[in-house]
């Protein structure tokens, strides 16, 4: 493994300079111990090509900004060790999202749109009283919410999903997972019918074809299959008029 | 947006999804039972014939065949709505599957392809059966001897489509975790395939002696 010389084939295109056509550019780099794709990209940018564009913020698999297609699969650059890859490494930007340049995409706009469509905030009639003690929550429910909340919005699930690749309006696993997060939250007062409005369509729970690339490519290993299935079952029974408990709240999985 | 707002019932997508599920389950159930029935030839031609006669006397085949044909057509139209029809979308899916090298994505691509193949092949099969009515060991043996290659393709394509189809529905609705369902559906598919192939061999041999 030591002393490998890595070959990086990197997608280059800057939409601001459309006169230069999209192309693949090759860089060579000596592998170092513990090298991640993110480290390698920084070295290439510092030593070989200052024009190379890619994103990162946290370098610790928390912010989700360094997601890209690494040898065909959506991965976080900061979490992917070069030692797990062959000598030749191909890098592409994530599909579906707006290309900013080279490996950099704008996932923010997509996820903001998602938040608005799924109304990702706690809908409550209670007025907030800053002087009062916080309401307590059942530990099991808190953990379920936390499980869904771990999503870092990197976009890997969307990039890996064939449906999301051809249908702009599809919420994808990240979106359906987000809905699941509010469905289990006891503070959210939305009725079952209101949830049906949000995801009871081809753009939501019924658009998923069960290809499971989201589940297989999630860098945070969220239980996306179970979340998708939970929302699908729940929304289907609401649609069929099967009587819900006063509120939707129910365990996932 | 006017046209969409006016035409859309908010339950349509749910109902379509449920019909896809129900029709798929019925067809898998039918296919597997069908193959078990065919495999009775392995016991003896008499067993095969008496089962077939039984189905005829009680009009089960006269009701069953048209019913399955209708369900199959329904399944084709409804599950087929997922298949991208536009050239560019097809190219995206193909490139996507090639890039991702992800098993479940590839099996879905083949699901779409085998689905369309089944529509054509199964129609021919039904035509051959109905024109050669009734189903007895010698009629089946004649068909099998003449068209064994056709039936080999139909068997493989059909079992592939059914096995992965039922796996995918279980995954989508989350009744069980993925791994065990994948093993179970593969195991059943393997058993049915072995039975089907064995039955084919017997029929071809019978055809030679008749
Ligand atoms: S840089 Fe934040 S997830 Fe990689």
Asked if A95 and A138 sit in the same domain, the reply is no
**B13 at A interface, C-beta within 8 A:** yes
Task: Look at residue A226 and tell me if it is in a domain.
Answer: yes
Asked if B129 contacts B144 with a C-beta cutoff of 8 angstroms, the reply is no
Convert the pLDDT of each residue in B1-40 to its tens digit. 666 666 666 788 999 999 999 999 999 999 999 999 989 9
Asked if A86 and A172 sit in the same domain, the reply is no
The beta-carbon neighbor of B92 closest among A165, A197, A213 is A165
Inter-chain CB proximity B11 and A213 less than 8 Å: no
Q: How far apart are the first and last CA of chain B?
A: 66
Task: Look at residue A89 and tell me if it is in a domain.
Answer: yes
What ipTM was reported for this prediction? 0.85
Dihedral angle of Cα A123, A112, A142, A65, to the nearest 10 degrees: -170
DSSP for residue A64: -
What is the CATH number for A204? 1.10.1060.10
Convert the pLDDT of each residue in B57-105 to its tens digit. 888 888 989 999 999 999 999 998 888 888 999 999 999 999 999 988 9
Probe ligand 1: pick from A36, A37, A59, max atoms within 8 Å of CB?
Answer: A59
Task: Look at residue A248 and tell me if it is in a domain.
Answer: no
Inter-chain CB proximity A236 and B97 less than 8 Å: no
pLDDT of res. A246: 47
Convert the pLDDT of each residue in A142-189 to its tens digit. 999 999 999 999 999 999 999 999 999 999 999 999 999 999 999 999
What is the CATH number for A61? 3.10.20.30
Tokens of A77: 């650059």
Report the separation in Å between the CA atom of A77 and the middle of ligand 1, taken as the mean of its atom positions: 7
Q: Strand pairing of A73-76 and A88-92?
A: unpaired
Asked if A236 and A138 sit in the same domain, the reply is yes
d(CA A159, CA A73): 9
B96 is in an annotated binding site: no
B187-206 burial, b at 16+ Cβ within 10 Å, e below that, comes to ebbeebbebbeebbebbeeb
Interface of A with B in 156-215 (CB under 8 A): 160, 162, 165-166, 196-197, 200-202, 206-213, 215
Asked if A72 and A139 sit in the same domain, the reply is no
Asked if A56 and A143 sit in the same domain, the reply is no
Task: Look at residue A113 and tell me if it is in a domain.
Answer: no
pLDDT of res. B210: 53
Asked if A76 and A141 sit in the same domain, the reply is no
Asked if A81 and A139 sit in the same domain, the reply is no
Asked if A179 and A227 sit in the same domain, the reply is yes
CB count in 10 Å sphere of residue B167? 22
- Name chain B contacts of A229, Cβ cutoff 8 Å: 171-175
Crossing angle for the helix pair B60-79 and B103-131, nearest 10 degrees? Answer: 140
Asked if A143 and A51 sit in the same domain, the reply is no
Atom of ligand 1 nearest to the CA of A55: 1
- Domain of residue A89 covers 5-105
Find, in chain B, the residue whose alpha carbon is nearest to that of A167: B89
pLDDT of res. A66: 97
Convert the pLDDT of each residue in B171-187 to its tens digit. 999 988 888 999 999 99
DSSP letter string, A196-231:
HHHHSSTTTGGG-----HHHHH-TT---HHHHHHHH
pLDDT of res. B7: 63
Convert the pLDDT of each residue in A181-235 to its tens digit. 999 999 999 999 899 988 999 899 999 999 999 999 999 999 999 999 999 999 9
Assess whether pLDDT exceeds 80 at residue B132. Answer: no
d(CA B180, CA B160): 18
The beta-carbon neighbor of B100 closest among A73, A200, A215 is A73
Asked if A70 and A167 sit in the same domain, the reply is no
Task: Look at residue A249 and tell me if it is in a domain.
Answer: no
**How many structural domains comprise chain A?**
2
Assess whether pLDDT exceeds 70 at residue B131. Answer: yes
Place B112 in a pLDDT band, splitting at 50, 70 and 90. Answer: very high
Q: Which residue has the tokens 């493994």?
A: A1
Q: What is the pTM of this model?
A: 0.89
pLDDT of res. B21: 94
Residue B173 has phi, psi (to 5 degrees) of: -90, -5
pLDDT of res. B135: 86
What is residue A74's three-state secondary structure?
A: strand
Asked if A174 contacts A155 with a C-beta cutoff of 8 angstroms, the reply is yes
Asked if A143 and A96 sit in the same domain, the reply is no
Task: Look at residue A179 and tell me if it is in a domain.
Answer: yes
Inter-chain CB proximity B104 and A162 less than 8 Å: no
Task: Look at residue A252 and tell me if it is in a domain.
Answer: no
B102 is in an annotated binding site: no
Asked if A31 and A95 sit in the same domain, the reply is yes
Percentage of chain B modeled with pLDDT above 90 = 58
Nearest to B112 by CA among A162, A226, A229, A215: A162
Residues in chain B: 210
CB count in 10 Å sphere of residue B16? 17
Q: Which residues line ligand 1 (CB under 6 A)?
A: A 56-59, 61-66, 76, 78
d(CA B50, CA A168): 56
Convert the pLDDT of each residue in A51-91 to its tens digit. 999 999 999 999 999 999 999 999 999 999 999 999 999 99
d(CA A246, CA A7): 59
d(CA B169, CA B162): 11
Domains, chain B, ordered by start: 10-82+98-208 (1.20.1300.10)
Inter-chain CB proximity B11 and A200 less than 8 Å: yes
DSSP letter string, B102-135:
-HHHHHHHHHHHHHHHHHHHHHHHHHHHHHT-S-
Task: Look at residue A14 and tell me if it is in a domain.
Answer: yes
d(CA A77, CA A152): 14
d(CA A54, CA A52): 7
């Amino acid at each position: 493994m030591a002393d490998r010389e890595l070959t990086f084939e990197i997608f280059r295109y800057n939409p601001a300079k459309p006169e230069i056509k999209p192309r693949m550019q090759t860089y060579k780099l000596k592998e170092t111990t513990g090298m991640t794709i993110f480290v390698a990209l920084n070295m290439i940018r510092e030593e070989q090509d200052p024009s190379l564009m890619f994103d990162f913020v946290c370098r610790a698999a928390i912010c989700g900004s360094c997601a890209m297609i690494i040898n065909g699969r959506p991965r976080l650059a900061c979490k992917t060790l070069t030692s797990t890859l062959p000598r030749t490494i191909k890098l592409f930007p994530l599909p579906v999202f707006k290309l900013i340049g080279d490996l950099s995409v704008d996932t923010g706009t997509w996820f903001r749109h998602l938040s608005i469509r799924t109304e990702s905030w706690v809908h409550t009639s209670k007025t907030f009283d800053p002087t009062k003690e916080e309401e307590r929550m059942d530990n099991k429910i808190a953990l379920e919410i936390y499980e869904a909340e771990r999503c870092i919005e990197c976009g890997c699930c969307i990039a890996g999903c064939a449906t999301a690749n051809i249908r702009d309006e599809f919420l994808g696993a990240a979106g359906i997972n987000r809905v699941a997060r509010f469905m289990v939250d006891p503070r959210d007062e939305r009725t079952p019918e209101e949830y049906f409005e949000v995801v009871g369509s081809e753009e939501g729970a019924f658009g998923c074809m069960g290809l499971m690339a989201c589940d297989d490519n999630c860098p945070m290993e969220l239980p996306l299959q179970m979340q998708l299935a939970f929302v699908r079952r729940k929304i289907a029974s609401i649609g069929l008029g099967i009587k819900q408990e006063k509120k939707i709240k129910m365990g996932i999985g | 947006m006017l046209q969409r707002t006016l035409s859309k019932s908010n339950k349509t997508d749910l109902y379509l999804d449920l019909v896809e599920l129900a029709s798929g389950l019925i067809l898998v159930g039918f296919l597997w039972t069908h193959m078990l029935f065919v495999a009775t030839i392995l016991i003896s031609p008499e067993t095969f014939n008496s089962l077939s006669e039984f189905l005829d006397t009680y009009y089960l085949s006269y009701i069953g065949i048209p019913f399955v044909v209708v369900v199959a057509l329904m399944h084709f139209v409804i599950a087929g709505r997922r298949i991208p029809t536009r050239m560019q979308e097809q190219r995206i899916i193909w490139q996507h599957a090639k890039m991702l090298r992800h098993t479940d994505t590839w099996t879905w691509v083949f699901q779409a392809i085998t689905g369309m193949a089944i529509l054509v092949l199964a129609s021919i099969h039904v035509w051959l059966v109905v024109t050669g009515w009734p189903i007895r060991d010698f009629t089946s043996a004649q068909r099998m001897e003449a068209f064994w290659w056709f039936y080999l393709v139909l068997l493989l394509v059909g079992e592939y489509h059914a096995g992965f189809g039922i796996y995918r529905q279980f995954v989508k609705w989350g009744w069980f975790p993925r791994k065990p369902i994948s093993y179970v559906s593969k195991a059943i598919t393997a058993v049915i395939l072995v039975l089907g192939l064995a039955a084919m061999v017997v029929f071809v041999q019978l055809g030679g002696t008749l």
